[in-house]
Chain A
């Protein structure tokens, strides 16, 4: 045939690669090379004595590039198959790695914790439900439960309540953005960082000649003619001082989410209620709150979960002493201070079980709002 264009060398190779034997060889060769590259990278990172900088660069390139390569190659392989199989296998290529990692990092450790919770301190012998008896009867644990309940009720209540109040009020001022930015700012601070800040607020130097109080709260109290107090050493009120920190951190979150929900309420709805005879409180409680109810519940459950697993603030501020212990802190103490993995695991399981119902409810709410 005269009109057949002459194939260049490159095209010829490409042709050969996409047909028959060439295709089969490529299908074996490419994954093999991929595997080798990834494996060599791993060996290098494990054994190399190269300068740290080079190792870091290699790790980044190998880590990010490796994932991309793995996805690319496995996707390429699957697409070589017939249409039916592409449809069946492709989803696994994309969610498979995520599921594998979840299984490895989340599911297995949970099972392992569950097993450990029935074993003794060193994880050698089974001791039945002894650890759970400890978890539910020990004085320290009961105190932690009580405190967590306080955190849950007061911490969540104030965070959501204040968040809602500020969202509603800010909505009516011309400086809404400024107010909201200020309230939201603490969100950017880590719990430990917040702990440090508030340690200064609550600071107490003791009594004696030449001792100068540096705490903000004590300064105010002294300024008003009172006497300096060791705020964090005063059970049970010291719990409230700690909860204030969480409220300070979390109100911003509640406010932002609720504010967007409030802005989503059609103004005609509120006007209709006003014309119907509602005063501003009735508009708020009978129209606004029910309308943003699902958002309100989502925010509340999110913060409830937060307060259940709260740890950092207590750890930094009091270490769980002076009657401020919480479940997560007790877990930390059992595991890392007393080296009793059995009790620690039992506490972890109890915490997990306490969080699960809230979690499920929260996910349902998210789904309703099509966040997923």
Chain B
């Protein structure tokens, strides 16, 4: 059990910068998820911690110990690989016992620990089998088991669920969460799937192009994305963005996209007033756009006229792909909504939950205005 610290860590592959001044402090017993699109550096960050890659600059610490020059075997970490990387010539038991045998743990102790881990994961009956005789889900469990028996300070997971089918993935997700509660150890988990990140993490580190975008709890990440990238990455379907103009009209502020204008509620006018008259990017999540008929009461609603382009019935909700002038957006509305393609309708935006980003702050990745 230990904390983990990335202290100004850089990793370069030739000219390519995989990690750009990464600073993360992970508390003991935390479940941190590193998430981002492929090539964002999340796996590199994990491999640097495991010792499979050397950092170009900065320090990686496990507890108080700088481990930059410590080989993987002496870092006291366990890792679950995406491909599981089970040793094909060994039985499940030997796979799990391998790390303990190398550490010269007494035989009886090995036996006890492997059986205990197998019981936790429900794979006792598989101990004598070879990896090739197992299904994907079983292999995944063995890979986790191999990590558990080691009783390491830190568990590393590199996209461990990406090779499982959808149903098994949901089930295993819950099991890994339970495992974390049971083991009370630091978990660091890499995934490109924001649903996995949201459901399992105590904190999430969102990365893009080697740069840490935001490090926060799932709820904060969803409610207060720091920038356009995080706002677009977290949530599915992702947030709608409209380039707009912030117009001051008397004491009121309006977000004017050219096709429609929505009024900013009074309690937030103060925040945005300094940006009056400037270009902004207006962001609103599909779940904050409602059919007026079923809109929750008591919200600051702003009406927008638009046309239905495509409807997707999901059962518990409907995704509406809408067009308003030159803008397209997605709405996630009540399933009782009866709209048809081509209908001209009114939808309401819940102006309690919207986001404004300042394009002047960063051309590629505008920062949220708070």
Contact = CB atoms under 8 A, between A and B. Distances in A.
B114 interface: no
A279 B51 CA distance: 13
Contacts of A274: 51-52, 71-73
Contact of A268 (B72, B81, B98, B150): B81
B52 A273 contact: no
A36 interface: no
Interface residues of A, number: 18
Dominant SS at the A interface?
A: helix
B150 A276 contact: yes
Contact of B102 (A269, A272, A277): A277
A275 B82 contact: no
A77 interface: no
Interface in A18-48: none
Interface string A244-283: 0000000000000000000000101101111111110010
B78 interface: yes
Contacts of B82: 268
Contacts of B83: 266, 268
B208 to A, nearest CB: 25
Contacts of A291: 88-89
A272 B73 contact: no
Nearest to B81: A268
Contacts of B87: 269, 272-273, 287, 290
A286 B94 CA distance: 12
Contact of B50 (A266, A275, A290): A275
B100 to A, nearest CB: 9
Interface residues of B, number: 25
B85 interface: yes
Contacts of B73: 274-279
A277 B52 contact: no
Interface in A191-211: none
Given A271-B52, A275-B73, A290 B89 contact: yes
Contact of A275 (B77, B86, B88, B103): B77
A339 interface: no
A125 interface: no
A276 B88 contact: no
A293 interface: yes
A277 B88 contact: no
A272 B89 contact: no
A277 B99 contact: yes
A272 B103 contact: no
Contacts of B50: 271, 275
Contacts of B156: 275
Contact of B98 (A273, A279, A293): A273
Nearest to A274: B72
A266 B51 CA distance: 18
Interface string B39-59: 000000000001110000000
A275 B78 contact: yes
A265 to B, nearest CB: 10
B26 interface: no
A266 B71 contact: no
A235 B77 CA distance: 57
Contact of A272 (B51, B71, B75, B81): B81
A174 to B, nearest CB: 13
B332 interface: no
B81 A271 contact: yes
A271 B78 CA distance: 11
A272 B79 CA distance: 7
Q: Which of A272, A274, A275 has the most CB of B within 10 A?
A: A275
A279 B71 CA distance: 9
B24 to A, nearest CB: 20
A272 B81 CA distance: 8
A276 B146 contact: yes
Contacts of A273: 87, 98
Contacts of B88: 269, 291
A291 B90 CA distance: 10
A345 to B, nearest CB: 44
Given A271-B52, A272-B79, A277 B85 contact: no
Contacts of A282: 102
A370 to B, nearest CB: 15
Contacts of A277: 73, 99, 102-103, 150
B153 to A, nearest CB: 12
A60 to B, nearest CB: 51
Interface in B98-112: 98-99, 102-103
Interface string A357-372: 0000000000000000
B102 A268 contact: no
Nearest to B75: A275
A275 B102 CA distance: 11
Interface string A173-190: 000000000000000000
A359 to B, nearest CB: 26
A109 to B, nearest CB: 42
Nearest to B143: A272
Interface in A289-307: 290-291, 293
A287 B99 CA distance: 12
Given A273-B98, A275-B50, A277-B99, A293 B89 contact: yes
Given A266-B83, A268-B81, A268-B83, A275 B72 contact: yes
B332 to A, nearest CB: 39
A261 to B, nearest CB: 13
Contacts of B77: 275
B220 to A, nearest CB: 32
Interface of A: 266, 268-269, 271-279, 282, 286-287, 290-291, 293
15 contacts: A268-B85, A271-B52, A271-B72, A271-B79, A271-B81, A271-B85, A273-B87, A275-B51, A275-B72, A275-B79, A276-B98, A276-B102, A277-B102, A277-B103, A291-B89
Given A271-B50, A276-B78, A277-B103, 8 more contacts: A269-B85, A271-B52, A272-B87, A276-B73, A276-B98, A276-B146, A276-B150, A277-B73
List 7 A-B pairs, minimum CB-CB distance, nearest first: A276-B99, A272-B85, A268-B85, A290-B89, A277-B102, A277-B73, A274-B72
Interface of B: 50-52, 71-73, 75, 77-79, 81-83, 85-89, 98-99, 102-103, 146, 150, 156
